[in-house]
Amino acid sequence: MRKAAGSGNSSPSAAARSSPKGSSSSSSSSSSSLAVAIGNRLLMKEQGVKLTDDMDGWMRGREEAGQTCILVALDRRPVAAMAVADPLKPEARGVIAALRQQVGT
């Protein structure tokens, strides 16, 4: 996980605050631009993006399954969502057992 700029902190919330965001020219012939935000739930809240109940439920289901939800918003409106997850590594079970043994659980 990358560290948030200047924070020395590598927590998920710190990384979310430094997620990519910015503006992009619209595809229409006008000279307007779109505010673009790409990141997790925390970033969307910070950017004033309102999630629907359906979207919130979809995200909670993925998060409970250990996945990370990534959202895309244009002009503070959610337009896309995806969930990603790393597969468990074969050695994970052994590593967890060794850690539990070290701490006595």
Among 62, 83, 64, 61, smallest CA distance to 72 is for: 83
* Higher pLDDT pick, 5 / 80: 80
pLDDT for 31 equals: 60
Please say if the pLDDT value at position 25 is more than 60.
no
Please say if the pLDDT value at position 23 is more than 60.
no
Among 39, 32, 47, 95, smallest CA distance to 70 is for: 39
CA dist., res. 44 & res. 73, Å (int): 8
Query: Diameter of the chain by CA atoms?
Result: 65
CATH 3.40.1110.10 fits 36-103, yes or no: yes
pLDDT for 88 equals: 85
Cα 8–11–12 angle (5° rounding)? 135
> Per residue in 67-95, pLDDT tens?
999 999 999 999 999 999 988 899 999 99
